Amino acid sequence: MSQLFTRYAIGQLPLDNRIVIAPMCQYSADEGKATSWHQIHLGHLALSGASLLIVEATAVAPEGRISPRDLGLWDDGTEQALAEVVKTIREHSSIALGIQLAHAGRKASTRVPWEGGNNIPPNEGGWQTLAPSAAAFAASDHVPQAMTGEQIERLKADFVASAKRAQRIGFNLIELHAAHGYLLHQFLSPLANQRTDQYGGSLENRMRLALEVFQAVREAVSADIPVGVRISGSDWVDGGWDIKQSIALGKALQALGCDYIHVSSGGLSQQQKIPVGPGYQVPFARQIKEATGLNTIAVGLITEPEQAEAIVATGEADMIALARAVLYDPRWPWHAAAKLGAKVNGPKQYWRCEPHAVKDLFNKV
């Protein structure tokens, strides 16, 4: 039996298999509000056969957007727009829905990728960015403002408010974004965090904000909604955030009731040197899983069914996440099930599409 297609659970959330669709920014929102693009994009991914679909990094405040076109969940308007997307998905798919709540920090206020992705300074239509310290991501970027204690408290409140909105909309899972060089990651890494107060310096201090945000969100939502964290296992820069510190963070999160950890890497420094290759981030997930026992999701150049099967079957991670691979092939889970001799969920309207060589592919319930 394929281990990739065995049932699993994160906290109290049952899942049909071990395949997750990772959050992927679409830069297609209107002042933070989901649009028809999100209906199409998330709608067809909801028919993919994966067990869990996590919505892209969703800003908890307007200034937390990576670009002016980022999705948000900070007021009634953004909540209503995203609720319409969730409602449509629920009408046609039983997939579990998660959302990644985020704040971009010093990497906010940028152009969308297809327009270069460069920083937009306030005098050109951007906004003042925030960070643990007044240190820009790139030398050409507008310098961020080092956050005050009051701003830190407001940030925690923003995460809580967005989490409550996510629960009200009907999301099954909440993921906090502490990876890829965004704000919570900036506080974690000594490369971006030069503070001398209780949020900077020692590892304990640098982890403080991520742990406080997690605890506040965990206490704010129902116990049956799993809350997890996406982290970068390494900055891939000497003297930066690394796997040893990631394990320490994992243990601290576990003590607070974290339901899972989703392990990526990089994104904090332009000096990073990443040895990109198939499954290059999986060892980080394995080490954190071995050291903490947390439910782990591995991601990063996982493209082949046999590769995904091996990761789960050997216990390197509990689940695998697909990003670019599932954009390229939105039916990746169907094709993996066919290759591995398993069954997968699919809409009844598509049951007749099975190729002659593939029989009984769908769970016809």
Q: Is 170 left (phi over 0), alpha (psi -120 to 50) or beta?
A: left
User: Are 106 and 64 in contact, with CB atoms under 8 Å apart?
Assistant: no
Q: Range with the lowest mean pLDDT among 63-72, 219-228, 347-356? A: 347-356
Burial 272-283 (b: 16+ CB within 10 A, else e): beeeeeebebbb
Question: What's residue 125's pLDDT?
Answer: 95
Mean pLDDT of the chain: 97
Q: What is the mean pLDDT of residues 295-304?
A: 97
- Length of the chain measured in residues: 365
pLDDT at 144 (0 to 100): 98
pLDDT-derived band at 359 (thresholds 50, 70, 90) equals confident
Q: How confident is the model at residue 365 (pLDDT cuts 50, 70, 90)?
A: confident
pLDDT over 80 (residue 68): yes
Say which CATH class 8-353 falls into. Answer: alpha beta
Q: What pLDDT does 16 receive?
A: 97
Per-residue pLDDT at 201: 98
**Active-site residue, selected from the candidate residues 8, 182, 199, 260:** 182
CA distances from 23 to 136, 141, 337 (A): 25, 26, 22
CA distances from 357 to 275, 338, 360, 361 (A): 39, 9, 10, 10
Domain ranges of the chain: 8-353
Calculate mean pLDDT across residues 23-38. 98
Q: Judge whether 199 counts as a catalytic residue.
A: no
Residue with tokens 């906010």: 108
Distances (CA, A) of 169 to 43, 172, 174, 176, 358: 16, 10, 12, 17, 38
Is the distance from CB of 112 to CB of 132 less than 8 angstroms?
Answer: no
Task: Tell me the one-letter amino acid at 13.
Answer: L
Please compute the mean of the pLDDT values over residues 171-189 and round it to a whole number: 98
Query: For 310-328, what is the mean pLDDT?
Result: 98
